[in-house]
Structure 1
Amino acid sequence: LFPLRLGTALRRGYRWMILRAPWLYELIYQVFFVGKRAPGTSPLTVLAAARLRRLVDGWRPDEVVSTFHLAAQITGRLRERGGLACPSTVLVTDFAVHRLWLHRGNDRYLCPNPDIIGYIAACTGQPALRCAPVVRPVFGRAVADPGRMARSVGVDPAARLVLVSGGSWGAGEIVATARALVRSGRYTPLVLCGDNAELRRRLRAAGLGPALGWRDDVPELMAAAYALVDNGSGLTCEEAFAAGLPVVIHRPISGHGRDGARAMAAAGVSACTGDPTALLEALDLLDDARTRKRRADRASALFRSMPAESGLVSSPKGRVLGLDERRAGQLDDAVGQAPDADRLEHDP
């Protein structure tokens, strides 16, 4: 959507910061995303709004759904100024939310974290509904076979496998995390490196367990693992919740990663640690069946919310489901309890 290949430059710059200069991203995040004097709308929206409007005019969709904070800013600006005729829904994919997710021009917000629904509604003045995380159903159906999985990656079938993830870019202090697990003698790390070939080389050179590239069997890996150690508090964590796999977020990445980790820990769906000793203690606690079950129950409760797709359907007339019911007093407690799918009525 950005002119002069600015989008490509922004994407590459963001990746460079996350991998090479996380302190710089943290500075930008504190100043522009959560700072008290930060602008409510990103100036980048002006550059992309015209192109999005042309796309919408050509496609004539029934609804526009944003799954990224900058996209939510663009759609909110267009909707507020009459440049977007159809409803605009924002699906918040982070467990924590910062101001650049929130624009009063959007029609409604869907969010998997019930603790921030009220905050979203108060900031935007728009309906905010709790929805289940958007995760492929296969993550809840994979069959556990730790021994077979261990043999397939070349480790002892009796090993206690801990899946380690740094996102698709292999960001964060992954080598140090894997080293702490190996040195404990109690856990064998399986590291998901994504497309980070350098990370794979470093892990293999240090003898720190299997270093895995892109995989299409992540549901099976999660079913076989003892726990997931992640540093991003994003989709991979939600996939683990669906799989019933306990999550420990260790040394989260800067900015939204750290805020998301704190929000997940506050909700009781994961642990958050900052040093190797705390990481191993958090993993050891999962040996207790009651602790493991309590964590799994809290995480699985997220999926008993309204499915996100039930909150996305709009009528050809542009009526926003949930908004009319709320005005009429028929949508009960949108902050704490999402309506069941069969309670959502469609226009003829």
Structure 2
Amino acid sequence: MPKGRKILILSAAMGAGHDGVAAELSRRLAAEGVEAEVVDILRLLPLGLGSSLRRGYGWMIRSAPWLYAAIYKIFFVSERAPTTSPLTLLAAGPLRELVRLRAPEAVVSTFHLAAQVTGHLRERDRLAVPSVVIVTDFAAHRLWLHPGNDRYLCGDAVTALVVAEATGRPAFCHAPLVRPEFLKPAADIARARERLGIQEGDRPVLVSAGAWGVGRVEETARVLAASGRYLPVVLCGRSDRLLRRLRDAGTGLALGWCDDMADVFAAAYAMVDNAAGLTCREAFAAGVPVVSYRPIAGHGRDGALAMARSGLSVYARNAAELIGALDRLDGTPERARMIARGAALFSAASAESLLGRPPG
């Protein structure tokens, strides 16, 4: 991408995945001399509505997943849902003003609400600069899709085909946006295991609970520990409550927020995931096979199923299937195939290079 450009990146602090993608894109653009500003689209909503939405979503995922599943079914995937939501209209004016003040050459969205807002404005000729959407989910639900956007970038070829067909807009496959340390061979696996407290002969299996520490991960840890073959290492994100509960229970290891996840992956036999988000793409980069189990409602379940259909992961429907899937990954051709498919995602063009591609 030519130097001297200015890009506005729209994200949302719903978990850490959208912000993680936005931050890595910003870092890469800055390395190329491009000025990149990341803005939380929820902060553009009036009267603190964005903060209320974030809290409400967090509560539903933790305490009422059935409610989020119903909302997801009605508004995220149903063809009968309104084409334009009130949130889109509320954010449209503030975003248009922000673009006027910042004068970027393009707007890039890494969150579905932002994609709806930019598409809405572009379709009505109220956004003068191109709009690019980076789809961060493995299953692109309806709210990612708006024909007003100029271009879509997707982390896998299947999603790109689905998006192009649904929107009629160009959709390109890009290499997942993960930090560079995940793509480097581990410097010292033995040291990484020692630092985490993993003993000789242990087979550590990471259990990802996302940034918010959600899902039925305590149950997953108990299943792994009860097998007698795997050491659960639960990634509790920023949930101090989950971290305390797991440490009090003494079921395997429990880790708080980790800034050195590449080292954690280096020590892992496999990862059990429940959200199909950025952590899965980091695992693919690090060569760690992924098994989906007890995914969170809505986009988590759809994403886990999409990953499994693509051969990137295994979807375990119950405890027996979970242990069976992990058993099959012990130095087998299945493990090698899964790791190879995950690594192949990174052979696509970089997202930052696709931002500079001519329209069309």
Q: TM-score, normalised by structure 2?
A: 0.86
Residue matched to 2:65: 22
**Structure 1 residue 270, shift from structure 2 partner:** 0.4
Cα distance per residue 1:240-273 (max 9 Å; x no partner): 0001110111111100000000100000000111
1:156 partner letter:
Q
Equivalent of 1:237 in 255, 258, 280: 280
* Structure 2 CA distance for aligned equivalents of residues 70 and 183 of structure 1: 42
**Structure 1 residue 215, shift from structure 2 partner:** 1.0
Residue matched to 2:13: none
Residue matched to 2:197: 154
2:338 partner letter:
R
Residue matched to 2:232: 189
* Structure 1 CA distance for aligned equivalents of residues 54 and 307 of structure 2: 26
Equivalent of 1:122 in 165, 177, 197: 165
Residue matched to 2:90: 47
- Contact 2:153–2:174 (8 Å) recurs in 1: yes
Cα distance per residue 1:133-187 (max 9 Å; x no partner): 1111110114164443333233423311111111000110000000111111111
Cα distance per residue 1:93-148 (max 9 Å; x no partner): 00111111001110000101211322211221111111111111110114164443
Residue matched to 2:56: 13
**Structure 1 residue 289, shift from structure 2 partner:** 2.6
* Structure 2 CA distance for aligned equivalents of residues 290 and 30 of structure 1: 37
SS of equivalent residue, structure 1 residue 38: coil
- Contact 1:53–1:83 (8 Å) recurs in 2: yes
* Structure 2 CA distance for aligned equivalents of residues 246 and 41 of structure 1: 39
**Structure 1 residue 15, shift from structure 2 partner:** 0.5
| 1:159-308 alignment runs, 5 A limit | 159-308=202-351
CA spacing shift, 1:263–1:118, aligned 2, 3 Å: same
| 1:104-143 alignment runs, 5 A limit | 104-143=147-186
Is the radius of gyration larger for structure 1 or structure 2?
A: 1
- Contact 1:191–1:212 (8 Å) recurs in 2: yes
SS of equivalent residue, structure 2 residue 138: coil
1:15 partner letter:
G
1:12 partner letter:
R
Answer 1 or 2: which has greater strand percent.
2
SS of equivalent residue, structure 1 residue 248: strand
Residue matched to 2:37: none
1:233 partner letter:
A
Equivalent of 1:67 in 101, 110, 126: 110
* Structure 2 CA distance for aligned equivalents of residues 153 and 122 of structure 1: 46
* Structure 2 CA distance for aligned equivalents of residues 287 and 213 of structure 1: 27
* Structure 2 CA distance for aligned equivalents of residues 10 and 134 of structure 1: 26
5+ residue gaps, structure 1, are 315-320, 324-348
* Structure 1 CA distance for aligned equivalents of residues 148 and 217 of structure 2: 40
The reply to whether residue 78 of structure 1 matches residue 121 of structure 2 is: yes
- Contact 1:194–1:214 (8 Å) recurs in 2: yes
- Contact 1:34–1:98 (8 Å) recurs in 2: yes
**Overall identity of the aligned pairs, in %:** 57
Residue matched to 1:337: none
The reply to whether residue 2 of structure 1 matches residue 45 of structure 2 is: yes
2:86 partner letter:
P
- Contact 1:42–1:70 (8 Å) recurs in 2: no
CA spacing shift, 1:163–1:109, aligned 2, 3 Å: same
**Structure 1 residue 44, shift from structure 2 partner:** 0.8
Aligned residues: 317
* Structure 1 CA distance for aligned equivalents of residues 85 and 68 of structure 2: 16
* Structure 2 CA distance for aligned equivalents of residues 28 and 266 of structure 1: 25
Q: Which of 78-87 and 25-34 deviates more?
A: 78-87
**Structure 1 residue 207, shift from structure 2 partner:** 1.0
- Contact 1:181–1:188 (8 Å) recurs in 2: yes
Residue matched to 1:318: none
* Cα RMSD, aligned residues only: 1.3
**Structure 1 residue 322, shift from structure 2 partner:** 4.6
- Contact 1:170–1:195 (8 Å) recurs in 2: yes
Equivalent of 1:96 in 133, 139, 144: 139
Equivalent of 2:353 in 310, 323, 328: 310
CA spacing shift, 1:108–1:229, aligned 2, 3 Å: same
SS of equivalent residue, structure 1 residue 220: helix
* Structure 2 CA distance for aligned equivalents of residues 142 and 322 of structure 1: 37
SS of equivalent residue, structure 1 residue 97: coil
